[in-house]
């Protein structure tokens, strides 16, 4: 009898936990091991996406700057620091690299539909180790 009650209690506790995590109450909490979704508007996600976009612009031969267009997946994983796993899209702006720099990006409009309109889908995995003030890009690629 006692055992049954304990089991029931455990089951309802599990149900509550499951519901809580389904509702996203666990956002930002440490769950070592597997990656879990966080808000796509999380400032830390915005920052890693922007940094990666700077890297993209820095390495591309394009005459124009690209900027983030949308974020499709934002995940966080706690492993000796924090890993961020992000899928996002960048799109070409009207700002020429020649006349602009990254500080101008917020004011750079996207290219209108037409010859110069182009987007890339990017995948990014960054490992941030706060106590070493270090941020290591483990995977970053973009494809059209």
Ligand X SMILES: *[C@@H]1O[C@H](CO)[C@@H](O)[C@H](O)[C@H]1NC(C)=O
Distance from C-alpha of 93 to C-alpha of 109, rounded to nearest angstrom: 5
The residue from 30, 34, 41, 58 that contacts ligand X (CB under 6 A) is 58
Count of residues touching ligand X (by CB under 6 A): 3
Strand partners, 135: 128
Tokens representing residue 142 in the block: 């973009």
Distance from C-alpha of 83 to C-alpha of 138, rounded to nearest angstrom: 9
Residue with Cβ nearer ligand X (37 or 138)? 37
Interface with ligand X, residue 37, by CB under 6 A: yes
The residue from 44, 47, 73, 123 that contacts ligand X (CB under 6 A) is 73
C-beta of residue 45 within 8 angstroms of C-beta of residue 39? yes
Q: How far is the CB of 116 from ligand X (least distance, A)?
A: 19
Strand partners, 74: 86
Q: How far is the CB of 137 from ligand X (least distance, A)?
A: 14
Contacting residues toward ligand X, per CB under 6 A: 37, 58, 73
């Amino acid at each position: 009898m006692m055992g049954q009650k304990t089991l029931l209690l455990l089951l309802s506790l599990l149900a509550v936990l499951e519901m809580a995590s389904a509702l996203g109450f666990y956002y930002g909490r440490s769950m070592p091991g597997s990656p879990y979704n966080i808000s796509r508007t999380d400032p830390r996600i915005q920052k890693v996406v922007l940094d990666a976009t700077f890297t993209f612009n820095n390495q591309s031969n394009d005459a124009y700057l690209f900027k983030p267009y949308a974020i499709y997946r934002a995940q966080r994983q706690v492993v000796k620091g924090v890993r961020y796993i992000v899928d996002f899209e960048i799109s070409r702006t009207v700002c020429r690299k020649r006349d602009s720099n990254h500080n101008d990006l917020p004011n750079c409009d996207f290219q209108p539909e037409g010859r110069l309109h182009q987007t890339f889908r990017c995948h990014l995995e960054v490992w941030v180790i706060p106590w070493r003030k270090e941020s290591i890009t483990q995977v970053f690629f973009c494809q059209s």
